Structure formats: C-alpha cells, structure tokens
C-alpha cells in the first residue's frame, strides 16, 4: 500500500487507507519486510511528510486507529532520516553498531533526538515510560515482553 501511495500522491483521488497507519505498521515490522518491498530513505521521507507525526495534529484520531506509539515511530523515523540526509550519509547506523564505532573510532553516526510517547494515565494502560536503548529496533514480541516487565 505504501508503494501504491507513492505513485498516487499527486493523483486527484483519496486513498482508501490511512498513510499514517500504514507507515506505522511498516516501521513496526521493518526488519521483517522483504528486500523487494523496502522503501528507500527518500521514499520514506516523502510519505512521512504526509503522515501524522504529532499527537497534536488535528488529523490524529484514536477512533481512526492512531496510537501514541505509531505516531512516535513515524516522528522518530522522520527525524532519523532527516539527520542522515543532513549528514550526507548513505549507510544505516543502528544502536548495535554505534558501540563498535565508539570503541574503534571511524565514521560517526548522525545524531538526532528521539521522543517517547506520553505515558497514559495510571490505571488506563501500562505504557512505555522508561528508555530502553534498543526500543526502536525491537520486534513486536520483544516490545510486549518489555511492557510486561514494567
């Protein structure tokens, strides 16, 4: 759906799906996306410009399925891609290889601010409220395990 969305961005029709929800699902499962279906960083940025990346956005609606986690994933991915583009780096840096770079020197990864979603009111739901250095690279099962530990 995201590839189709890219092709139809300038078309005079409304897509029958929400690009923000599709992008959040894509980012949540990014490590499981086949190589043929991966978006380039430029394609991701193009789509993220149209996504809801702030809970204060007037398009944000819990009834439509928007969640603080999905919005945070989109916002953080957009910030990371912009930092990579500003640094002129084409290769991907992850949390796992940053430690290796710190020990052995070499090219430094671009830096950017990562935001965590606001914690829900007590009693409503248990939410991520403590930073974990690999939270953005976790699988859905790994995140569930982290949430159960809280």
pLDDT exceeds cutoff 50 at 85: yes
CA distance 111 to 90: 14
Give the pLDDT confidence score for residue 89 in this predicted structure: 57
Query: Which residues lie closer than 8 Å to 69 by C-beta, 6 or more apart?
Result: 24, 117, 128
Of 73 and 95, which is predicted with more confidence? 73
CA distance 141 to 46: 29
**For the residues 36-59, what does the mean pLDDT come to?**
91
User: Where residue 122 falls among pLDDT bands split at 50, 70, 90?
Assistant: low
**For the residues 69-86, what does the mean pLDDT come to?**
88
Give the pLDDT confidence score for residue 10 in this predicted structure: 87
Q: Is the pTM of this model over 0.85?
A: no
In whole numbers, what is the pLDDT of the chain averaged over residues? 78
Q: Is the dihedral of CA 41, 81, 143, 71 positive or negative?
A: negative
Of 96 and 34, which is predicted with more confidence? 34
Give the pLDDT confidence score for residue 129 in this predicted structure: 47
Cβ neighbours of 75 (radius 10 Å): 20
Please name which of 31, 44, 42, 57 lies closest in space to residue 2, comparing C-alpha atoms.
Answer: 44
Please identify which residue in the block is written with the tokens 């398009």: 59
Instruction: Output the six-digit token pair for 132.
Output: 């974990």
CA distance 124 to 63: 17
User: Where residue 116 falls among pLDDT bands split at 50, 70, 90?
Assistant: confident
Residue 31 exposed, middle or buried by CB count within 10 Å (0-12, 13-18, 19+): exposed
């Amino acid at each position: 759906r995201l590839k189709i969305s890219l092709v139809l961005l300038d078309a005079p029709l409304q897509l029958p799906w929400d690009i923000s929800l599709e992008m959040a699902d894509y980012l949540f499962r990014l490590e499981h996306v086949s190589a043929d279906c991966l978006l380039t960083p430029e394609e991701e940025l193009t789509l993220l410009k149209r996504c809801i990346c702030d809970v204060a956005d007037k398009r944000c609606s819990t009834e439509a399925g928007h969640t603080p986690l999905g919005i945070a994933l989109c916002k953080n991915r957009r910030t990371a891609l912009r930092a990579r583009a500003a640094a002129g780096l084409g290769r991907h840096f992850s949390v796992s290889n940053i430690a290796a770079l710190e020990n052995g020197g070499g090219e430094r990864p671009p830096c950017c601010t990562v935001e965590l979603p606001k914690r829900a009111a007590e009693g409503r739901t248990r939410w991520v409220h403590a930073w974990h250095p690999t939270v953005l690279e976790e699988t859905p099962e790994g995140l569930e395990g982290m949430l159960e530990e809280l």
